[in-house]
Amino acid sequence: MAQTKTTSQTIAELREFASFTAEEQLFIERSLDVGLGRGDAFKSWVEEGGSCSAIRGQYIAYRELRALRGSVPSIESLDGVAEFIGALVRMSAADLAQEQLSCFSAYRFLYERLLGAPVRPWLPAAFCGAAALPQIRPERRKMLLQSLSEAAATAPAWSTREPGFFPERIEDEAA
């Protein structure tokens, strides 16, 4: 039975990833390479035609990932919320400003993999905070904020199950 639940979760995650635009999928793959330290992400993504400054910006923004993973505040207390949300909004704003993620679900998919399941209850607030910043163009800000569903914004609880599917770019070895 446990195997069936894990398989079902993985299939659901694969389907969700497949529902994102090709641009979002590539951004998520690149972000996971950078944020999780998979391979030589900078070199491989620059060779694929990625922007040096955008990738370097992600490395800088993601410096706080390790500290954030270990400091997710309890939802029963306000202790540590300011530092955690401040860092998460700053990191989220850097990603949203690149205009590669066009909706909350793509953002959530990425950040629950970067930071783990415990971060889920904090993602709607961080997304709204980052999307509402003046660094995001007004038209983009409107689109992003409208992508957050009422169900996600008012969820009484979030799954504590860790993500099972972590997309990776497969390099073409035919060359």
Q: Can you give the pLDDT at residue 172? A: 56
Task: Write out residues in the chain with pLDDT < 50, as ranges.
Answer: 1, 175
Q: Can you give the pLDDT at residue 42? A: 62
- Domain range enclosing 19: 2-153
Q: Can you give the pLDDT at residue 173? A: 52
* 163 inside domain: no
Number of independent structural domains in the chain: 1
Quickly list H helices, the chain: 2-19, 22-35, 41-47, 52-61, 65-69, 81-97, 104-115, 123-131, 138-146, 150-153
Q: Can you give the pLDDT at residue 1? A: 45
* 158 inside domain: no
pTM, two decimals, is: 0.89
Q: Can you give the pLDDT at residue 130? A: 98
Q: Calculate the average pLDDT of the chain.
A: 89
* 29 inside domain: yes
Q: Can you give the pLDDT at residue 146? A: 97
